[in-house]
Amino acid sequence: MALKATIFKAELQVSDLDRGHFATHALTLARHPSETDERMMVRLVAFALNADSALEFGRGLSAEDEPDLVKRDLTGAIEVWIEVGLPDEREVRKAAGRARNVMVYTYGGRSAALWWAQNEAALARLDNLTVVDIPEEATEMVRAMAARNMRLECTIQEGQLYLSDAQRTFHFEPRVIARPA
């Protein structure tokens, strides 16, 4: 018998001063049985950094050729394709051909740095790719915030992300490794 996804609910209040986006998002996250709390929460951080009424969670680990987060325009064309973790370089190139913008949010410290070192040459040719690294200390903090029902507040200002729940507040700066020319 196959294991089912665990459902998490999040009320995420985003105040993105850099982009002028202010909204409260009621989110449902399905955590795949093989997904860790850390990865799920990095998906939530990626949502906060790109928050938009059209942004939604994809089927991610449950389906190949599906992004972790996706934003489509009114015609159904993919505007933004977001991957979390250390995706296969071929999959990133394929996504770059299907979407206007592709974003990869890496995490994991040394393993993320090694992934980038191995894939930088092949991915540097993509003119619609942004790669952002979430620091290891930040992923430890967001993992501690994981709960079946979450109320989180996120403020983004001058590239800094401030995240808080009822017990704690912390901030970090996502590090942009690569961006379109």
| Axis crossing angle, helix 89-98 with helix 110-123, rounded to the nearest 10 | 50
Residue 51 lies in a domain: yes
Q: What is the pLDDT of residue 63?
A: 57
Residue 163 lies in a domain: no
CA pair distance 130, 85, nearest whole angstrom: 13
* CATH code for the domain of 53: 3.10.640.10
CA pair distance 68, 123, nearest whole angstrom: 19
Q: Which domain holds residue 132?
A: 34-149+170-178
- Indicate whether 164 pLDDT > 80: yes
Q: What is the mean pLDDT of residues 87-107?
A: 97
172: pLDDT confidence band, cut at 50, 70 and 90? very high
The alpha carbon torsion through 114, 95, 163, 140 (nearest 10 deg) reads: -30
Residue 48 lies in a domain: yes
CA pair distance 52, 40, nearest whole angstrom: 19
Residues whose CB is less than 8 angstroms from the CB of residue 39 and which lie 6 or more positions away in sequence, other chains included: 84, 85, 107
Asked if 67 and 57 touch (Cβ cutoff 8 Å), the reply is no
H/E stretch holding 114: helix 110-123
Which amino acid, residue 20? G
Q: What is the pLDDT of residue 74?
A: 94
Q: What is the mean pLDDT of residues 92-107?
A: 97
Which residue shows structure tokens 């990626």?
Answer: 46
| Exposure b/e, 76-107, CB count within 10 A at least 16 = b | eebebbbbbbbbebeebbebbeebebbbbbbb
Q: Is the whole model's pTM more than 0.85, yes or no?
A: yes
- Indicate whether 166 pLDDT > 70: yes
Residue 108 lies in a domain: yes
The alpha carbon torsion through 86, 89, 33, 163 (nearest 10 deg) reads: 40
Q: What is the pLDDT of residue 5?
A: 85
CA pair distance 143, 146, nearest whole angstrom: 5
Which amino acid, residue 137? E
Residue 84 lies in a domain: yes
62: pLDDT confidence band, cut at 50, 70 and 90? low
Count of domains observed in the chain: 1
Residue 62 lies in a domain: yes
Q: What is the mean pLDDT of residues 137-145?
A: 95
CA pair distance 99, 77, nearest whole angstrom: 7
Least confident of 55-64, 84-93, 133-142, 172-181: 55-64
* DSSP type of residue 156: E
Q: What is the pLDDT of residue 66?
A: 87
Instruction: Output the average pLDDT for the chain.
Output: 94
